[in-house]
Chain A
Amino acid sequence: MLGKLDWSAIPTDQPIPLVAAGIVALMMLGVAVIITRKGWWTILWHDWITSVDHKKIGVMYVLLALVMLVRGFVDALMMRSQQAIAAGNHAGFLPPEHYNQIFSAHGTIMIFFVAMTFMVGLMNFVVPLQIGARDVAFPILNSVSFWLTAAGVLLLNLSLVIGEFSRTGWLAYPPLSELAYSPQVGVDYYLWSLQISGVGTLLSGINLTATILKLRTKGMGYMRMPIFCWTALASNLLIIAAFPILTATFAMLLLDRYLGFHFFTNDFGGNAMMYINLIWAWGHPEVYILILPAFGVFSEVISTFSGKPLFGYRSMAAATMAICVLSFMVWLHHFFTMGASADVNGFFGVMTMIIAVPTGVKIFNWLFTLYGGTVRFSVPLMWALGFMVTFVIGGMTGVLLAIPPVDFITHNSLFLVAHFHNVIIGGVLFGAFAGYNYWFPKAFGFTLDERWGRAVFWCWLTGFYLAFMPLYLLGLMGATRRMQHYADTSWQPLMWVALAGALCICAGIVCTVIQLVVSIRTREQRRDRTGDPWDGRALEWSTPSPPPEWNFATPVQVMAPDHFWRTKHDHLPLPGGPDLPAASSIAMPRPSATGFFVAFFAVGLGFGMVWHIWWMAIAALLGIVAVVLALAWRTVDDTVVAGADVAAFYAGRETA
């Protein structure tokens, strides 16, 4: 009846996951109590859970990413503590099988549910506003995408208390991840969680690509789009081209594990190296899916806070698209040691160095944008400056690793770990925080506290250097990644420094929470009444903060790049404002619970498959079909916002 599931699945012998799960359960209970007391359930359901508004979905994505950042960071703290202790005769406090789950969960969560989720959230929120659209191309699909991501998150976190998580690293290389060597449910949790959220990501990629290519407002030619839209376009094109490969690869591993196929097994002619090739054919573009939107954020931030148009706009767009194409031609540099010929390794080494060129172009463009500008050192710009210094270091160690003979020495070492944290923290995460501080007032109508924002930045920057510079050295001294224990006690002092760095980052995360709380408490003093707190350039700043559901009351006619900036300085009326006194009515898509219910059944599908509870999986699949069919027969798709209500919204803002 319940497949492989029984009481032994609850890890009663391991205190850490149980205590963690208990704390999470208490926190959820606390939130539920607060919501019930304030009577917010209906608001939550109508205004958020069933909302198809791209802005609200974007906010929910970012919130999900921030929560998962805490989860992934707790894993990181445990790893750093373990490595600080477990040298020589000390075994540390984490047994190997638990340690292996922790580093697997850390990587999986940080890439898929923090970096990815954060960037998709920012793109969702910003892109339609920047191109002058009222919503994305497929609003209900957008809600489905978000909730599928949330379903993946839920499934992954379920593994904390019911069963266990994968022990096979964040990419689950076979043959270790095959049934013969990982007969437990950990790998299945990993695979189903990522398959479900991967479908969400793919649908979101299709949605945003169609939005950017087909829904730009009048006059918004390609060469007038803000650079963030260019980078979002490149990133979403990469999602469309790369995520199906991930789905296919995981599907093959699932067939191996569930139906006895032999794609990657050791016997019957399976080929494990094919998995490594396929997964990196997705994995390398994925790196650029993450970093390109961050580049877009920095472009917006740097030109806004320098008070200048972006230097080299065309070269920036060209560099973005060049990276988009080149990102598919470098995947083999992740496994130079596979044993391909010197020519093959040489080709991929050279391609990897070439891809650094458009990235370099971008760095110089940002520098020249700052040069001669009236620079305001606000929090978003500090993240951007911290990024430029840090990312250049990470980029250079990347080019170093692109040299195959060097890679043979540093492969799978802590040097590599330091490199990719250098570019992902220094690039993607700094970009995420820059975007968070930059667009927060647009989303909520008040700015974030600057002083605590600076504290967050300095904690992260110091913490990053303390935590990862020692890892470069340790890597060169011979330390490999994923060590639960090491014999050479001369590595220990540097491990202590790294732990100090992790604690520093921990302080940064605490400051993030304080910044949010302080800002909410003092929101009346920091209210953004203009809709344009930073003297911004792109169209999103022409709307009130927070923007109305319909974004723009009238279609925007764009005449030039940085159109909003120009109208502002020529004292022309705001683009997209209402045609008062009698505003015209606006048709907006109706809310839909489709996304929520699809995700609900998707969790059931994943859980049933993980534990071999076939009836549950089949029932859940039928549930998904039923929900989609119910939507197919829905007759009324839009609600109409009356012209009087539109006019009242804008009038209310003026008197406020």
Chain B
Amino acid sequence: MSAVMEDPVQTVTVPVPRSERGPLPTRVVVTYGMWLFLLSDIVMFAAFFAAFVVLRDHTAGGPDGRALFDRDQVLLETACLLFSSFSCAMLGLAVEYRSKLASYASAVITLILGAAFMAFELTEFAQMIADGAGPDRSAFLSGFFALVGLHGVHVVAGMFWLVVMLAQVATLGFSQKVVRRLLCFSLFWHALDIVWVGVFTVVYLGAFT
């Protein structure tokens, strides 16, 4: 109250709206581009989800999900991927502190968990194909193998990306470019987690409702 009395002439500065502040720094632009890519990737997954749901009951006299899926195994598989997201977040922290050792350690844990996830998935696939329940058995199985397989391809690509990033940290150090790429990688890896939560719910839990 008193302040206003002492200074009756107030200068009002209108802040420049965010949309008029000019071009943003490279770090923001690059991660924004990565977000846009992830959105498009999720749209692609959405199409495969839609196809899976449409074809879920088209088993053509073959086995359905209830007969094929091992819930315990899938739970372990899911745990591997979710914990790999945790180690991936630790990787982010290690990069923040520019610690090579911690970065390597958390990246290796992420890789091991990713590999374990893929091992679970490939064993499941191999078992199903050996039992005559391959993707050519029914439209339901086509939808299943395509959706889960697409996610698996993403995980493998992500693991390859992480190995490349380890080599980049080793050779180029924590340059701005390398740090940006690590940031994009972690966005990608977490997005795969989110998609997997959808797969787990719709494909695996959905089979038992």
Partners in one complex: yes
Chain A contacts to B: CB under 8 angstroms:
133, 137-138, 202, 205-207, 209-210, 213-222, 224, 240-245, 247-249, 251-252, 255-256, 259-263, 265, 267-271, 274, 278, 281, 555, 558, 629, 632-633, 635, 637
- A244 in contact with B41 (CB, 8 Å): yes
Closest 7 CB pairs of A and B: A269-B58, A269-B139, A248-B47, A244-B44, A218-B22, A260-B136, A261-B142
Chain A residue nearest to B142 in the complex (CB):
A261
- B145 in contact with A271 (CB, 8 Å): no
A252-B51, A262-B138, A263-B139 as given contacts; A209 in contact with B36, CB under 8 Å:
yes
- Judge if B105 is at the interface, Cβ distance under 8 Å: no
- Judge if B122 is at the interface, Cβ distance under 8 Å: no
- Other A-B contacts than A206-B33, A217-B23, 13 sampled, CB-CB below 8 A, are A138-B30, A214-B24, A214-B32, A220-B20, A243-B40, A249-B47, A255-B146, A260-B136, A268-B60, A268-B139, A269-B60, A271-B54, A271-B58
- Judge if B28 is at the interface, Cβ distance under 8 Å: yes
- B58 in contact with A270 (CB, 8 Å): yes
- Judge if B78 is at the interface, Cβ distance under 8 Å: no
CB distance from B31 to the nearest CB of A (A): 10
Residues of A within 8 A of B138 (CB): 262, 268-269
- Judge if B29 is at the interface, Cβ distance under 8 Å: yes
- A217 in contact with B22 (CB, 8 Å): yes
Chain A residue nearest to B139 in the complex (CB):
A269
**Could you list some 20 contacts between A and B, CB below 8 A?**
A202-B40, A205-B40, A207-B33, A210-B33, A213-B32, A214-B28, A214-B32, A215-B29, A240-B43, A244-B43, A245-B46, A248-B51, A251-B146, A256-B142, A262-B60, A268-B60, A268-B139, A269-B58, A269-B59, A633-B171
Contact with A along B162-183 (1 / 0, CB 8 A): 0010001001100001000100
Chain B residue nearest to A134 in the complex (CB):
B23
Docked pose: A221 CA to B29 CA in angstroms:
17
A-B contact count (CB 8 A): 139
Chain A residue nearest to B33 in the complex (CB):
A210
Docked pose: A483 CA to B130 CA in angstroms:
48
Report whether over half of chain B's contact residues are helix, strand or loop; otherwise say mixed: helix
Contact with A along B1-42 (1 / 0, CB 8 A): 000000000000000010111111000111011001101110
CB distance from A338 to the nearest CB of B (A): 14
Docked pose: A281 CA to B47 CA in angstroms:
10
- Judge if B50 is at the interface, Cβ distance under 8 Å: yes
Residues of A within 8 A of B150 (CB): 251
CB distance from A645 to the nearest CB of B (A): 23
- Judge if B151 is at the interface, Cβ distance under 8 Å: no
A240-B39, A247-B44 as given contacts; A137 in contact with B33, CB under 8 Å:
yes
- B137 in contact with A218 (CB, 8 Å): no
Residues of A within 8 A of B185 (CB): none
Docked pose: A265 CA to B139 CA in angstroms:
9
Docked pose: A265 CA to B55 CA in angstroms:
12
Docked pose: A563 CA to B7 CA in angstroms:
38
A214-B32, A248-B44 as given contacts; A261 in contact with B146, CB under 8 Å:
yes
List CB contacts (< 8 Å) of B133-154 with chain A. 135-140, 142-143, 145-146, 150
- A263 in contact with B40 (CB, 8 Å): no
CB distance from A317 to the nearest CB of B (A): 13
CB distance from B187 to the nearest CB of A (A): 14
